[in-house]
Amino acid sequence: MSPKKKILIVDDELFFREILKEALKDRFDIIDGKDGQEAVVLSIEHEPSLIIMDIEMPTCDGIEACRILKSNSKTRKIPIILFTSRTKKKDMVLGLKAGADDYITKPVYIPEIIARVDAHLRTTDLYSDLEHKDLLFLLEITETISAIRNPMTILRLIVEKMAEIIDVARCSIVSINECGDMVVKASNDLSGHGELKLDLHKYPEIQKSLKSKQAVIVNDIKNDPLMNSVREQIKNLEFNSIVVIPVVKKESVIGTFFLRTATPVKGGITDRIYKLSQLVANISANALENAILFESVQAAQEYFEEMAIRDGLTSLYNHRHFYDRLEEEFGRADRYAAPLSLVFFDIDDFKRINDNYGHSCGDQILKKIGQLMKAVARDSDIPARYGGEEFAVILPNTAEEGAFDVANRLHNIIREHQFDQLAPNEQITISSGISTFTNKNLESFNELVQLADSRMYAAKRAGKDKVAQL
């Protein structure tokens, strides 16, 4: 068994040093000091693998100690993590300029410290025991997934490549959702692109990794005490060893993803398998974070773009987008000699509704009419709120007869709907006008609008609650 690595903790607060010692003592030999001068002396004497040091200390602060250590050939390669207050960003910059490798702001979060310590110590020996083909594989996977923006594609690529490079019975990436359900997101033996939901209680190794945010190795699944609760279920498994690596970025498990590799190797998880799994998990964390960030930014962008073309009350397309789409559809109809129709309608006597029931009630009726329009509209139709109580529906590839049918269905569904805001048996009616572009009968989309608008007002003059075609 290899000796524990040494970590030097330097802080003038004894309480803080004791907290860190308690968190790290099981895995590391801890040395501690109270100021920058002791940091320099203890580093030269003990040659620790890592130094954790506060910036604000008497006599010699962390920045000065860092500068001295990085100028000494015996200590300059030791990674240094500095602690500082969130409000003192200038100290962070000075510390990094002095040669610090990382910084953490106080108040500290113990799991974050453990994750940072592990990250810095891994870099010193993680590539040993790897074969030439492993290094080529890591280079290939890094270059490939760095160009991918779909997280699921990244996950599938990882498990497939891992299965190719090492002797693996199963390589999976699983995720734990907010309800505690475990889902296999990708696996080299999972056909298709579907996800597989599993019972987390049947996987104690993943439970342990989820709780500790650290790698878990089971070298003999038939006899390891960790597997006692599932002994009966695993007795016929073909593999002997399992390694579970949390996909961690800083202090967070990215979406609680875990790289789980199971192998039939009799001697257990070799250093090569473990280190390769760890490196792939590290690479995956960066790629997944970038992909997830890209998705969230893209989703936000798409959301705001969509909101910009929607009417805030009815969620129908707004006046500006109506004209953009109408111009686009008119150009397409003209190029391909296809019909294009437009239905305009106005709510009859809407001022009376606002006067009798109030504008809030009127808004609710407008909102409901928007919902009724969506129920009538086909996938290819483009319903919009033109303004006030006026609405429009663009009907691509629709001749006059089809437009008349749509207008009638709108009339019927609105007239027959009982609006909650109105008195029983009180109806809402609309007046509509239809226009159709066909065989180049109109010169522009503006003429299509003017024609539908004039016919709508003709329907109002004819007594309302009508559809005017001609």
Closest to 416 measured CA to CA, from 396, 430, 405, 431: 430
Place of tokens 């969620």: 315
Report residue 18 as tokens: 């004791």
**Which of 412, 408, 413 shows the shortest CA–CA distance to 372?**
413
pLDDT for 355-402, tens place per residue?
999 999 999 999 999 999 999 998 899 999 999 999 999 999 999 999
The DSSP secondary-structure symbol of 40 reads: H
Least confident range of 288-302, 332-346, 352-366: 288-302
288 pLDDT exceeds 90?
no
The candidate with the shortest Cα–Cα distance to 393, out of 401, 402, 384, is 384
260 has pLDDT over 90:
no
Whether the predicted pLDDT of 255 surpasses 50: no
Task: Indicate yes or no: pTM above 0.85.
Answer: no
Cα–Cα nearest to 168, from 245, 263, 238:
263
| Alpha carbon distances (Å) from 314 to 122, 419, 448 | 56, 15, 24
DSSP string, 163-217: HHHS--SEEEEEEE-TTS-EEEEEETT--TT--EEE-GGG-HHHHHHHHH-S-EE
What pLDDT digit, counting tens, does each position of 199-245 carry? 888 889 988 888 887 888 888 888 889 989 988 888 887 778 888 88
Residue 310 is given by DSSP the state: B
Q: What confidence score (pLDDT) does residue 294 get?
A: 63
| Cβ contact 57:12 at 8 Å | yes
Residue 83, pLDDT above cutoff 70: yes
C-alpha to C-alpha distances, 267 to 162, 219, 287, nearest whole angstrom: 19, 7, 32
Share of the chain above pLDDT 90, in %: 42
User: Using an 8 Å Cβ cutoff, are 368 and 419 in contact?
Assistant: yes
pLDDT value at residue 411: 95
The answer to whether residues 462 and 468 touch, using CB atoms and an 8 Å cutoff, is: yes
Domains of the chain in start order, with CATH, are 5-125 (3.40.50.2300), 132-294 (3.30.450.40), 319-468 (3.30.70.270)
Q: pLDDT value at position 123?
A: 56
Which of the given ranges, 51-60, 191-200, 260-269, has the highest pLDDT on average?
51-60
Sheet strands (E) in 372-466: 382-387, 390-396, 430-437
Model confidence at 455, pLDDT cuts 50, 70, 90, reads very high
N- to C-terminal Cα separation, the chain: 93
Is the bond preceding 107 in cis, omega lying within 30 degrees of 0? yes
